[in-house]
Amino acid sequence: MALRDQLRVMVVDDMSTSRGLIIQALDAMGVRQVSYAADGQAALAGIAKSPVHLVISDYNMPGMDGLHLLHALRSDAKTKGVGFILITGRADKEIIDTGRKFGMNNFIKKPFATQDLRTCIEAVVGRL
């Protein structure tokens, strides 16, 4: 069974259009077990109920941004090993450095091509 058939992914983005584009790209890669949340708090609640292997999160969200979500995941023994990819329109050095300090596995800049997202994901979880 291919990794893409087993991989459980949570997409976190407050903008439904962005969420849809990420989910569409995952579907094109054959990744079918995809859940989503509109913010960091909802993502944490969803992951507590149904664990995932990988979180793909937007950086800029109201309430709990992507870096705070990452920090919360890394601070919990149950979720500290979850793969984390940050998607941002602003790939500032400060954001990326903070993400790395918190244990971010990879990042990708918006807008992205499906193949670039695939490469980004495969660098974290292995070949799909």
Measuring CA to CA, which residue among 40, 71, 53, 43 is closest to residue 121?
Answer: 53
The range of the structural domain enclosing residue 118 comes to 3-125
25 has a pLDDT exceeding 80: yes
Q: What is the mean pLDDT of residues 71-85?
A: 97
- How does pLDDT run across 39-49, given as a tens digit for each residue? 999 999 999 99
- Calculate what percentage of the chain has a pLDDT beyond 70: 100
In the block, which residue shows the tokens 């990326």? Answer: 96
Domain count, the chain: 1
User: Tens of pLDDT along 87-123?
Assistant: 998 878 999 999 999 999 999 999 999 999 999 999 9
Close Cβ partners of 98 (under 8 Å, ≥ 6 residues apart): 67
Q: What is the rounded distance in angstroms from the CA atom of residue 33 to the CA atom of residue 112?
A: 21
Q: Going by C-beta distance under 8 Å and a sequence separation of 6 or more, which residues neighbour residue 34?
A: 8, 9, 10, 11, 23, 26, 27
pLDDT of residue 119: 98
Percent of the chain topping pLDDT 90 = 93
**CATH assignment at residue 88:** 3.40.50.2300
